[in-house]
Amino acid sequence: AQSVTQLDSQVPVFEEAPVELRCNYSSSVSVYLFWYVQYPNQGLQLLLKYLSGSTLVKGINGFEAEFNKSQTSFHLRKPSVHISDTAEYFCAVSPEGYKLSFGAGTTVTVRA
Amino acid sequence: DTGVSQDPRHKITKRGQNVTFRCDPISEHNRLYWYRQTLGQGPEFLTYFQNEAQLEKSRLLSDRFSAERPKGSFSTLEIQRTEQGDSAMYLCASSFKGDLNYGYTFGSGTRLTVV
């Protein structure tokens, strides 16, 4: 079985400041890893994914994440946030390669 | 193609009533997934189809829930005898084949409120 823990439920951050959202997973097998963003009253949009290869993954909107197998982590970072980055962010794993198991989400609020 | 469409966007129903939601996937996607998202939680897998075949059902999908995908195109999710605990956002997603390397597109969801 696999589970995803997002260590911060809420992250307030000032505009143009960096942000890091933490995600740890537990799995007995290799997994695919994902970060999704959900804006209010919308579905989920893929930010980035790790399938194999380089442990540093770059995604859309200036986000990047680093896969750390020894620490079973997949933390998401952005060096400078904008007001438009205010949203809920979900980390997800997929050992099987077709269905996703999501964390509980981290709400990011960007303030001017 | 405008992506994955879900209808209705919002549904309010009285406890005990039946409701049906529709999902239209991206036309060339042969896999279709249903997820449920309750307030403050991440989405949870319910079921998925490859073409018209329902290949897996989560234990979350009680016998009051039924999903269909006739002809491998759109899908419907029906909830019979709704309960307040069914209140949630129901998300549909589709993908080409089962490999997440091909991408996985979500719809905007149907928000169900059972009163």
Lowest-confidence range among A95-99, B43-47, B55-59, B61-65?
Answer: A95-99
The pLDDT, as a whole number, for residue B100 is 67
- pLDDT category of residue A27 using cuts at 50, 70 and 90: confident
Dist CA B58 CA B61 (whole Å): 6
For A63-85, the pLDDT digits (tens) are 999 999 899 999 999 999 999 99
**B70: Cβ contacts below 8 Å, ≥ 6 apart:** B52
Mean of all residue pLDDT scores within chain A: 92
What integer pLDDT is reported at residue A97 of this predicted model? 76
State the pLDDT at residue A53. Answer: 87
The pLDDT of residue B49: 94
Task: Calculate how close chain A gets to B12, using CA atoms only, in Å.
Answer: 16
Q: Are B98 and A97 in contact (CB under 8 A)?
A: yes
- pLDDT bin (cut points 50, 70, 90) of residue B98 is low
User: Which DSSP state fits A35?
Assistant: E
Q: Is the pLDDT of residue B89 over 60?
A: yes
| Mean pLDDT within A25-39 | 86
The C-alpha atoms of residue A81 and residue A15 are separated, in whole angstroms, by 5
Among B104, B105, B112, pick the best mutation site for testing chain A contact (most A Cβ within 10 A): B104
Provide the phi-psi class of B84: left if phi over 0, else alpha when psi is between -120 and 50, else beta. Answer: alpha
How far from chain centre, in Å, is Cα B19? 12
- Judging contacts by C-beta atoms under 8 Å, the chain A residues touching residue B104 are 46, 100
**Strand, coil or helix: what is B86?**
helix
User: A14 by DSSP, 3-state: which?
Assistant: strand
Q: If you average pLDDT over residues A34-42, what whole number do you get?
A: 90
- A-B C-beta contacts closer than 8 Å: 58
CB contact under 8 A, B99 and A90: no
Choose the closest CB to A97 out of B4, B93, B98.
B98
- The structure tokens 């609020």 sit at A109
- Residues of chain B that touch chain A, judged by Cβ-Cβ distance less than 8 Å: 4, 31, 33, 35, 40-45, 48, 56, 91, 93, 95, 98-101, 103-104, 106-109, 111
For B43, name the nearest residue in chain A, comparing CA atoms only.
A102
Give the strand pairing for A106-111 and A10-14.
parallel
